[in-house]
Structure 1
């Protein structure tokens, strides 16, 4: 089997350490969209939060309603700046003794630093557990068949502006079923099933599952097509949750005070965040290389946003997730580097 690592293609990539593809990225994409494939995402960083007060403590520090989180449940959370900008995004998986937070490569140290700073006298013991657990993802419509006993993921609807107090259920806005799996945990998520397995047994788990492999390139193409944002790719230093569609899975709008809550509430009640996440179609005439992360999106020669993740999709062609000023019309004729670009309004 041909294995091409991310760092072989881009030595400076934040995604170094996992396979980019196994010789045929387009076939791997089709596999993830029609069947099931296994993607090594063990470059994700993991923070463990044991301690009897972990649920109530995380509830007060983050955007998610976690005070009642119990064994066998998972969700998503954000840590915001005092001005409501997204600083951290993590998935949380609860096993009854520990809340496991997995986040983007390079983001774990910042998340752990914040948690340690906010411990005070709370009975919690956060630590870096990246050397303990590795993340593998079973992606595709058949993923749940390989790990029976997991309920479908549930993501609640975002209430309208000026909703009535008490009308939002007092539970996580996203709820992901969790069960034990091969000495670790399995978590049902919208793209399939994430496996948090002991790092030393990662290769043994992959062999035992016997599932066809797919690289991170294929995973990213599926993610982009589904318009799922990624911390550090579709976010910058001034991103607020509503701009990149993180409100539904990660923000409880009626749970009380947390850092940055005033901005979240004000933007939600006004109903007009300054920017929005869009899917762009790139013509690929001048160049067949997807633009780099951070490339400016321009309208009439003026920058009106930036590219987050650009990929070559097996059906859509060259596409990108981008963050644009909200007032840019859907039919605007945009440019990204040498490519013409159009917003997919679907």
Structure 2
């Protein structure tokens, strides 16, 4: 993937030598504060996939967790691809412009999604393409031009069939942009924001036209933590089911849409019990200078009760981490937890 032009801006630093977007621009804490008001984040490392053809929405509806057959043009939503046992395999943002359904995923996750979709094509009139080389995603915080997200309430266990409207569980208002691509209202950081898909060659000029301060992906990911928004590949492991993430359940899973791969597990957990784990935010005591690495064990005494996901230093709350914990631990505010040499509190 081509290195973003915004990574060449003064002060820009990549997280790794092979990074294609800026991790920060010299002051991550200031960039977090800016992002709570109005700033632009270069997320052009996300994988972009298109699905075209007359059957695209009904076909995606049959394969994924979201109700897509009635997705209106210029509307966005979220979807999950689940394993036969209900574990999350892919998380994707969605936008349909009337002729093309755009899917965006975490960096490196697009290949698995395309592979799954391609294997499920059979005789359906759809075409699938990876267009990451031509299109890039940006995020702008504080933009309230588009209408607020329309989110359906999660129904109680054993709800009556037909209770949920036959529509996506979250509907993000959107519009097409003059030079192609789209704007999609989102609530990814627990605040107003807009995802923008623009031609990759126009990323720098588009950012300049907006005239907003730049924030890196470090700031963006830090603000995901208190919003309890998991990222595929960091926070979601091979055992994660939708109910373990209340954020994803409310936005990406329609509980009354009929059969799809993994649906039996989703329905059984929703109607007969609670998930064994749940996402939570931890405060660390600051003993260690750097955040713990993803995958670091979280212990209650000598017992491992979870692993660290995204972890960072928040501009107000100090060192925090997103984790998926055993439910009994996550529901106990007095739990005594440790991560390496640091004490951690829910």
- Common fold: TM-score over 0.5: yes
1:20-68 C-alpha deviation (Å, 9 max, x unpaired): 11111111111111x1100000000011001111010000000000001
The answer on whether the counterparts of 1:75 and 1:93 sit within 8 Å (CA) in structure 2 is yes
Aligned to 2:129: 127
1:181 equivalenced with 2:185 (yes/no):
no
Superposed counterparts of 1:10-89, under 5 Å: 16-33=19-36, 35-89=37-91
Q: 2:333 aligns with which of 300, 305, 330?
A: 330
Q: 1:112 aligns with which of 106, 111, 114?
A: 114
Question: How many Å separate the matches in 2 of 1:216 and 1:204?
Answer: 19
SS of the residue aligned with 2:328? coil
SS of the residue aligned with 1:225? coil
Question: How many Å separate the matches in 2 of 1:271 and 1:171?
Answer: 26
Instruction: Kindly state the Cα deviation for residue 270 of structure 1 after the two structures are TM-superposed.
Output: 2.3
Q: 2:12 aligns with which of 3, 27, 33?
A: 3
Q: 1:95 aligns with which of 94, 97, 116?
A: 97
Question: How many Å separate the matches in 1 of 2:219 and 2:177?
Answer: 25
5+ unaligned residues in a row in structure 2: which ranges?
A: 1-9
Instruction: Kindly state the Cα deviation for residue 271 of structure 1 after the two structures are TM-superposed.
Output: 3.5
RMSD: 1.0
Aligned to 1:258: 260
Instruction: Kindly state the Cα deviation for residue 182 of structure 1 after the two structures are TM-superposed.
Output: 4.2
Aligned to 2:143: 143
SS of the residue aligned with 2:148? coil
Superposed counterparts of 1:184-333, under 5 Å: 184-190=181-187, 191=189, 192-245=193-246, 246-285=248-287, 287-328=288-329, 329-333=332-336
Question: How many Å separate the matches in 2 of 1:189 and 1:231?
Answer: 18
Question: How many Å separate the matches in 1 of 2:74 and 2:263?
Answer: 28
Question: How many Å separate the matches in 1 of 2:327 and 2:227?
Answer: 20
SS of the residue aligned with 1:143? coil
1:150-171 C-alpha deviation (Å, 9 max, x unpaired): 2111222111111111001110
Say which is worse superposed, 36-45 or 20-29, in terms of deviation: 20-29
1:3-33 C-alpha deviation (Å, 9 max, x unpaired): 111215xx6xxxx211011111111111111
Aligned length: 329
The answer on whether the counterparts of 1:234 and 1:244 sit within 8 Å (CA) in structure 2 is no
Question: How many Å separate the matches in 2 of 1:160 and 1:97?
Answer: 36
Say which is worse superposed, 175-184 or 276-285, in terms of deviation: 175-184
Structure 1 segments of 4+ aligned residues over 2 angstroms from their partners:
none
Question: How many Å separate the matches in 2 of 1:316 and 1:271?
Answer: 34
Aligned to 1:157: 153
1:169 equivalenced with 2:165 (yes/no):
yes
